[in-house]
Structure 1
C-alpha cells in the first residue's frame, strides 16, 4: 500500500480539478486505488469507447471492483451526468457498505465535489 495520500478523479473527458490526480480509464483508476491511499474519490460513469466503438469499462464497473476487492477511499463523490449510472453506483456503494464489503466509515455522496468542466 502506498503511503502517499491522493485525491482521485476518474473521468475520460472532463478537466481534472485542482488537488486531484486524474485517471482516464478503469485500469488507471484501479492502479491508483491499489497503490495509493485515496482520501477523496470522484467518479464519472461513462468512460468512453474503444477504437471499435465498444463501451469501455464504466465507473459502475469500477464501483463493483472496489466493492469486490474491499478497496477504499475516505470519501466517494459521484459527478456523472448519467442519472441511471449515478443511481446504480450510489446504491451499489451504499449496499456494499451496509453488507460490510467496504469499510463502514466511508462517506458516500450522491453529488460532485467539484464543478464539472470541459475545456477540450
Structure 2
C-alpha cells in the first residue's frame, strides 16, 4: 500500500556530502552519520535510500555499505524499497551497484 495514500510520510534517507536531496526526509553528510542514520531506522521500512560514493576528503560510502552487507549476511537485511546510487564517480557507483545487488538489495543508478 502506498504510504502517502495512507497518510503516512515515506521514509527517504540520503547519504551525500553536498547535494540537498529535496525529497529526502533525512540526510547524513558523512559515512559515520550515515551509519547512525541507518541504525536509527534499523527496524523500520525505508522507502528510498540515496547513496553518494565520495563523501569528501578520504570519506566514502563504504562503511554504510558494509553495514548493509553485514545485516544481509546475518539474515536480517534492512527493509529498503529502493536504493539509488547517484555518485559522480563511475567506478565507485558500479562497485556499489555490484555489492548491493549481490546481497539482493533493490538498487539502481540515478541522477540526484
Q: TM-score, normalised by structure 1?
A: 0.70
Task: Work out the CA distance in 2 between the residues paired with 1:94 and 1:47.
Answer: 21
Task: Evaluate the alpha carbon distance shift between residue 26 and residue 78 of structure 1 in structure 2; reply closer, same or farther with a 3 A threshold.
Answer: same
Task: Work out the CA distance in 2 between the residues paired with 1:20 and 1:7.
Answer: 5
Post-superposition offset of 1:64: 2.4
Name the counterpart of 1:11.
Answer: 16
* Count, aligned residues: 96
Task: Evaluate the alpha carbon distance shift between residue 95 and residue 18 of structure 1 in structure 2; reply closer, same or farther with a 3 A threshold.
Answer: closer
Task: Work out the CA distance in 1 between the residues paired with 2:35 and 2:12.
Answer: 13
User: Hey, which bits of structure 1, 4+ residues long, moved more than 2 A?
Assistant: none
Q: Kindly indicate whether residue 99 of structure 2 is the aligned counterpart of residue 92 of structure 1.
A: yes
Name the counterpart of 2:50.
Answer: 42
Name the counterpart of 2:6.
Answer: none
Task: Evaluate the alpha carbon distance shift between residue 31 and residue 5 of structure 1 in structure 2; reply closer, same or farther with a 3 A threshold.
Answer: farther
Name the counterpart of 2:63.
Answer: 61
Q: TM-score, normalised by structure 2?
A: 0.74
Flag structure 1 segments of 5+ consecutive residues without an equivalent: 50-54, 98-105, 116-120
Task: Work out the CA distance in 1 between the residues paired with 2:62 and 2:91.
Answer: 10
Whether the 8 Å CA contact 1:60–1:88 is kept in 2: the answer is no
